[in-house]
Amino acid sequence: MVCFSHSGMGFFKCCLAWTFVVLACVFASSSPDIPNNEDTKPLWNATWTDKLKRKLLTHYDKFSRPAQHTNATVVKMVLTFRHFELDELKSVLTVYGWMRMAWTDEKLKWNQTEWGGLHELHLADHEIWQPDIILYNRWSYGIQILNGK
């Protein structure tokens, strides 16, 4: 952008435009939140796990199923019961336990040799897709009005 003007107002507009261009370049190149290329080094000493997690989850959609729409997602479940409570008067059986689920997420695969031999990655449950599991025959706590009175 080259500015030549005889009037003072045109020169002022040109200087103002140059100021915006310079500020935009400074903010675009120095923003720590938005890397300008994949080779940008983080502020910390990133491990193979950090780099792989960033690569896999950058454009990962945790709300879409982890397979093509034509393929089924097979979820394996294991229930481990830890404790039972039976209230005979209320006819309520309370079960405490753990539920472990496993499935293959096609979007979270990588080549171990390219990632320092890393063969396992631990992620938080809120970072990835989870199957919708609902107990159909459940009883919720609270007052239940039977006759509407």
Each residue's pLDDT tens digit in the chain (149 positions)?
Answer: 444 444 444 554 544 455 555 545 545 544 444 444 455 555 577 889 989 999 999 999 999 888 887 888 899 999 999 999 999 998 888 889 998 989 888 889 999 999 989 999 999 989 999 988 877 666 665 544 444 44
Buried residues in 48-66 as b, exposed as e (16+ CB within 10 A): eeeebbeebeeebeeeebb
Would residue 33 be called left, alpha or beta, if left means φ above 0 and alpha means ψ between -120 and 50 degrees? Answer: alpha
In whole angstroms, give the CA distance from residue 58 to residue 66: 15
In whole angstroms, give the CA distance from residue 131 to residue 75: 8
State in Å, rounded, how far the first CA of the chain is from the last one.
79
pLDDT at res. 94: 87
Amino acid making up residue 39: D
